[in-house]
A and B are shown apart, each in its own frame.
Chain A
């Protein structure tokens, strides 16, 4: 069965610091990869996605992620975070054959001014 691991459970940063959130998955077949963000009290919104092609994908609000197939990783990055990036971030992996979308446990990001 596929699974998703997010190693950072809680990250605290100051504004302008760089961000990298780890995501690893276990599944040998074809996958689609996603990062979602959940702002306090809101539902999930798609940040970015990888289906095929260039393994470096850019999303909204200056976020990007790199798919490294050999490491089964899809880490999220942002060069300079803002206070408004305070939220919970979820990595998700979609089994292409069954279309099951499985989430990691999430990383809570707090950015202080």
Chain B
């Protein structure tokens, strides 16, 4: 039981490049979310999903796309990376409404130069 797995752990991009941050969970959780963590700003919700085929925007969705084609996977896409997207990204999942709190992945540290 691996929990929430994020890849890669570290990534450096040039401005304008695109990439996908991967997130997978093996707990059959319905709910999945993406957060970015920046110093002094806590964790801010980017996008979230309450089940396969259903996604919605969080607090800071601009510049990011998501899809949820399976229960297990919730990739985050940066179509044209900008230096403002330099951050640590966390994926999290949760079983269902009213259940325990979210389980977090170990994070992806992204630097855009």
Q: What residues of A have a CB within 8 angstroms of the CB of B56 in the complex?
A: 98
Known pairs A44-B90, A105-B42, A106-B42; A100 contacts B48 (CB<8 A): yes
Q: What total of chain A residues lie within 8 Å of the partner, measured CB to CB?
A: 24
Known pairs A90-B42, A101-B33; A46 contacts B48 (CB<8 A): no
Measured between alpha carbons, how far is A46 from B50 in the docked complex, in Å?
A: 20
The chain A residue sitting closest to B105, CB to CB, is A43
Interface residues, chain A, with chain B CB atoms under 8 Å away: 6, 9, 32, 34, 36, 42-46, 49, 51, 90, 92, 96, 98-106
Interface residues, chain B, with chain A CB atoms under 8 Å away: 31, 33, 35, 40-45, 48, 50, 56, 58-59, 90, 92, 94, 97-98, 100-102, 104-107
Other than A102-B59, A105-B40, give 9 A-B pairs with Cβ distance below 8 A: A42-B106, A49-B101, A51-B98, A90-B43, A96-B98, A101-B92, A103-B35, A104-B42, A105-B42
